[in-house]
């Protein structure tokens, strides 16, 4: 490798995509061309090991024999005392594992397309006499369109026939990744097409749920679970997964290879007729995100309100009063207020202008009929001791003292709102103006206190609010 120019052989190194214990994957450009390619380059220490060099040769041999859209095209192998590498097409996309950990809902929404691409790819590989033996999300590249590329054939081996299985006996070593390894591989039995099917089933389970079916406290504990523990259906973890898909995944994860589907062709047929999800995962994720954002906003508002209330209490400040609803002012009420202001101004100047007197309707006396005029001297029912205007009145000195309430006020000083409503029968109430809603008036003491002050516009608005006039 030329450190100054960062070149290996006839290729310029641009970017290190991945790094392992013995090899690195680089994005490279061939000298004199703009084409971007990928290089699997052996590290210096690994290049001194003949077994590692044999693995690199073996992977290039397998990759070169596979011509399928789901596999990268292998181009060139070069090994000498200075370097060892092979060149293949560059597929600028993250692994399926990266999608699962960072963008699960999106990758779930394209899961049917993933299955539609991956299953025929491994079927093609098996028909060409090769087993992958290390199927896992890290060895599957996926772009945004859902297109896939299967990589890493370092553990691939030839498909054995019946005679080969008998003669091979037990495998010398367990090879594979513990999370995705098949039970028969742990028992050192010869690998079959169902061995790849099991690993693919574990990968599918992880895409559907965000986690693999088995996890252990130690590497050996994980291997024991592959041998003896039954996986839960994916729908237990992700209720959006259909029961039909549950059955296919669980069949792929059977402990006994004979109980799995016969091959990838049968698996592809099963997936063609299955509905994978109850609701599109992307839409479900978007809906859940909106609900979560709303809950967080409500929680923040509550925390802010609680914090503000605590600060006000600590400072001895009362909580802010909500703004009162705006009320509509009727022309009649405005005229009455103008008349009251004029009366108050005239009183201060010593003159009282003429104004219409309040004439409440009288309750019916025994023997009376509606509309019958009231007899002279009849008293106001809602103003004790006050005669009806226009009729003969008893001189004040002739009125028995007990009939004059001590709290009596002259008629011109008592606003109409002070009439005790409980003394006026409902059928005798004066007609209301359309658009008004009148409730019980405030206590007499409160209005009496206001009569001793000058009435302002704010007082009028408060009075109207107390009377609930809209």
pLDDT tens-place values along the chain, 470 residues long: 544 458 998 999 999 999 989 999 999 999 888 889 999 999 999 999 999 999 999 999 999 999 999 999 999 999 998 999 999 999 999 999 999 999 999 999 999 999 999 999 999 999 999 999 999 999 999 998 889 999 999 999 999 876 566 555 566 678 889 999 999 999 999 999 999 999 999 999 999 999 999 999 999 999 999 999 999 999 999 999 999 999 999 999 999 999 999 999 999 999 999 999 999 898 888 888 888 888 877 776 666 666 667 776 776 676 665 555 555 556 777 778 888 888 888 877 765 555 555 445 555 555 454 445 555 444 444 444 444 444 444 444 455 445 455 444 544 545 444 455 444 554 445 444 444 444 444 544 444 444 444 545 555 555 555 544 44
Any domain includes 197: yes
Cα separation, 334 vs 171, in Å, equals 103
Are 32 and 153 in a shared domain? no
Count of the separate structural domains present in the chain: 3
The domain containing residue 329 runs over which residues?
A: 325-336+436-470
Q: Is 452 part of any domain?
A: yes
Do 150 and 170 fall within a single domain? yes
What pTM does this model have?
Answer: 0.63
Query: Is 234 buried (19+), middle (13-18) or exposed (0-12) by CB count in 10 A?
Result: buried
Shared-domain flag, residues 187 and 68:
no
83 in any annotated domain: yes
Using the 3D structure, point to which of 257, 284, 311 is the last residue of a domain: 284
Same domain, 82 and 102: no
Residue 214 lies in a domain: yes
**Of 34, 58, 89, which residue is a domain's last?**
89
Residue 214 zone, left/alpha/beta (φ > 0; ψ -120 to 50; rest): beta
Q: Are residues 205 and 259 in the same domain?
A: yes
Asked whether residue 441 is domain-assigned, the answer is: yes
Residue 79 falls within a domain, yes or no?
yes
What are 183's two structure tokens? 């039970």
Question: Is there a domain that residue 180 lies in?
Answer: yes
Count H helices and E strands in the chain, helices first.
Answer: 16, 10
- Which CATH number do you get for residue 110? 1.10.510.10
Does residue 100 share a domain with residue 82?
Answer: no
Instruction: Tell me: do 125 and 147 sit in the same domain.
Output: yes
Residues 69 and 171 in one domain: no
Termini Cα distance of the chain:
88
In eight-state DSSP terms, residue 418 is: G
- Pair 156, 131: CB distance under 8 Å: yes
Domain for residue 391, yes or no?
no
Tell whether 85 and 100 lie within a shared domain.
Answer: no
Task: Identify whether residues 241 and 261 lie together within a single domain.
Answer: yes
Residue 157 sits in the same domain as residue 186: yes
- Identify the CATH number of the domain in which residue 20 sits: 3.30.200.20
């Amino acid at each position: 490798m030329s450190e100054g120019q960062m070149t290996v052989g006839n290729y310029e190194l641009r970017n290190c995509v991945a790094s392992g214990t013995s090899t690195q994957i680089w994005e490279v450009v061939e000298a004199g061309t703009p084409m971007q390619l990928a290089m699997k380059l052996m590290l210096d220490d690994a290049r001194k090991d003949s077994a590692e060099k044999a693995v690199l040769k073996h992977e290039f041999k397998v990759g070169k024999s596979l011509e399928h859209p789901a596999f990268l095209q292998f181009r060139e192998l070069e090994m000498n005392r200075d370097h060892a590498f092979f060149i293949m097409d560059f597929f600028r996309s993250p692994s399926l594992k990266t999608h699962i950990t960072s963008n699960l809902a999106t990758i779930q929404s394209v899961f049917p397309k993933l299955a539609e691409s991956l299953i025929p790819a491994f079927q093609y590989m098996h028909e060409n006499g090769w087993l992958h033996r290390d199927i896992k999300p890290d060895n599957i590249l996926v772009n945004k369109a859902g297109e896939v590329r299967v990589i890493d054939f370092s553990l691939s081996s030839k498909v054995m026939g019946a005679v080969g299985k008998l003669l091979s006996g037990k495998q010398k070593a367990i090879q594979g990744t513990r999370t995705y390894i098949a039970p028969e591989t742990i028992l050192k039995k010869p690998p079959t097409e169902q061995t790849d099917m099991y690993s693919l089933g574990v990968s599918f389970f992880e895409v559907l749920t965000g986690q693999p079916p088995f996890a252990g406290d130690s590497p050996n504990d994980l291997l024991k679970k592959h041998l003896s523990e039954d996986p839960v259906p994916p729908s237990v973890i992700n209720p959006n997964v259909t029961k039909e898909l549950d059955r296919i995944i669980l069949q792929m994860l059977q402990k006994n290879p004979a109980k799995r589907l016969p091959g990838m062709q049968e698996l592809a047929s099963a997936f063609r007729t299955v509905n994978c999800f109850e609701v599109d995962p992307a839409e479900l994720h978007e809906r859940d995100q909106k609900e979560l954002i709303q809950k967080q906003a409500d929680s923040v508002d509550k925390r802010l309100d609680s914090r503000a209330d605590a600060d006000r209490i600590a400072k001895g400040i009362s909580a802010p009063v909500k703004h009162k609803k705006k009320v509509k002012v009727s022309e009649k009420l405005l005229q009455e207020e103008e008349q009251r202001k004029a009366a108050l101004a005239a009183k201060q100047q010593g003159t009282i202008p003429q104004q219409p007197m309040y004439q409440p309707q009288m309750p019916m006396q025994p023997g009376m009929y509606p509309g019958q005029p009231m007899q002279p001297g009849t008293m106001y029912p809602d103003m004790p001791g006050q005669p009806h205007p226009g009729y003969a009145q008893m001189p004040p000195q002739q009125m028995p003292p007990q009939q004059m309430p001590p709290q009596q006020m002259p008629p011109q000083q008592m606003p109409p709102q002070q009439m005790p409503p409980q003394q006026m029968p409902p059928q005798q109430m004066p007609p209301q103006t359309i658009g008004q809603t009148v409730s019980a008036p405030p206590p007499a003491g409160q209005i009496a206190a206001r009569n001793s002050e000058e009435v302002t516009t704010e007082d009028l608005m408060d009075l109207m609010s107390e009377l609930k006039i809209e």
